[in-house]
Structure 1
């Protein structure tokens, strides 16, 4: 049995694809996953399974449109092992996420694409935005005092954006702590 982090792309965003976390937990338990817990309503789930990450993702993606009214083109599922999430946090650029009062920092998790493919769609504004490629992730941060001048949101117009899901660095670190603690949150 392995612990996984499941990141959902496209649920509970802007009033679309509403999925109550209690109902999501119930669905995942009905699929045979155990120790299911959710963290905030943006689609973060910890669970235990004897299946591999690809099988877990495929089963959840298939079950979601049957259980909820969704625009299925927007919904994607990324399943990470504990080690994969630990690597994302451990391999962050030096100082990334260390100054939350100064920078807004995000982990942009990639779904079926590589960082080298994703990097060209970012258009960082010098002095405001910074982006770094990682393994299965792009690290992005912008100066909080100049967030309105940031150009990072321009990547949302690219077709590749459908292959990404964004979590704040604070959420990413919290999810790792939850996995480290065995899922209790």
Structure 2
């Protein structure tokens, strides 16, 4: 388990290529947990299906269009510390070959870049919400406990949204952001 049971999610560096691909890392989460002295493990279910209407709108697709959905339970040791669902437009997922549960070194962002869909901007929106029964069971909290949800959208240079990931971290995370002051 990470020191002090806190997980620092550093949005300042987590999506940089060198950080995502550090060692044999499978992406940002893997690198973060290892750097904090933890033992990352991810269970991934990949399927095709429509994205929720708000996510489809961000992706610029119809709510009936198929996407590749990567639903993940993310662990530090034996403890679930995050649930995350990624939605990727079908053409991007097929070109990047990311329908395998193991995304390879650097994760799906690296596969997208190799396929010509390099993300040059990420926007994250954080909201508070009440835990559902499934989340309460996964995190060992009561239904209705206030949790955070981070919606990450990755954009290419031409402004296309190629990934929306809805992160639902367990209690005990520290979110770190860096904004340039001009």
Name the TM-score, length of structure 1 as normaliser.
Answer: 0.25
Greater strand share, 1 or 2?
2
Greater helix share, 1 or 2?
1
